[in-house]
Amino acid sequence: MQVTTVLEKINATVGEGPHWDEKTQSLFFVDILNGRIHCWNSQTNKDTYVELDGNVGFVVPSSKGDLIIGLNRTLARLDFSTKKVTPLVEVEHNLTNNRFNDGKCDPVGRLFAGTMDNVKKSNGDLMKERGSLYCLDTDHSLSTHAKKISISNGLAWSLDNTTMYYIDSIPRKVYAFDYDKETGATSNQQIVVDFDMTTEKEEVFPDGMCIDEEGMLWVACYYGAKVVRFNPISGKKLFEVKIPALRTTSCCWGGPNYDELYVTCAVSGASDDELMEYPLTGSVFKVTGLGIKGLPPTVYDG
């Protein structure tokens, strides 16, 4: 196994939401707080980006050739070449401090994306249970699937398409919902990985997530400097990959054979001492030689 740096210190705030684009063999990701959507082409090793006015929580390619983004409290289309933003729907008009965080598409191309509070209290904590998890269907209709979410994060679907996995970071839990592929309905929320019941320290939080071809979950651990592979059936930790950045935020599979794990991290809030210990903070990393593959991601089909 080897961890290499793909883009050194590319993110200035919160690097997040990596998403592999199979068509172009490129990695999309966002730098949330400065509104940047990056596209790194693995064949040319060239990174380009669009910078928007606001916070961008995630980016997902669509079947129409553009991108779907979470811009502040709005789900929107983005033409990467022209920088044109076309709003689709705005949520939570009464919670103006909220913003979208992570987002991902289900197996048939619906977009699931959740929100969180974006203003810290005087003690540095975010307001809890202010967010929700939404689904933007392919006909652009919007439905709510979870409420009282603190930091909406990782999403993944089981190999048999009957379970949706979902992370709310603050309670330090990975949840499973019964999932209906035909309708997108979710029900019967359960805990499958509870960080309070593992050996993870109290300050380590589950963040972004992906799933491999064996149905195991890969969870980026914020304040943990690692990605951990969990069995969602037993809830047990299988092994971990150390990442040279404390604030590990998310991960996705990529490469021609989906045997490369791409990992993002955050810079915001890092002390000088932390940056001394983790000088590659803000970079995008690639993990190879795992002997495990992931699955092609789904794009938005609306």
Catalytic residue set: 207
Closest CA to 192 of 159, 151, 224, 164: 164
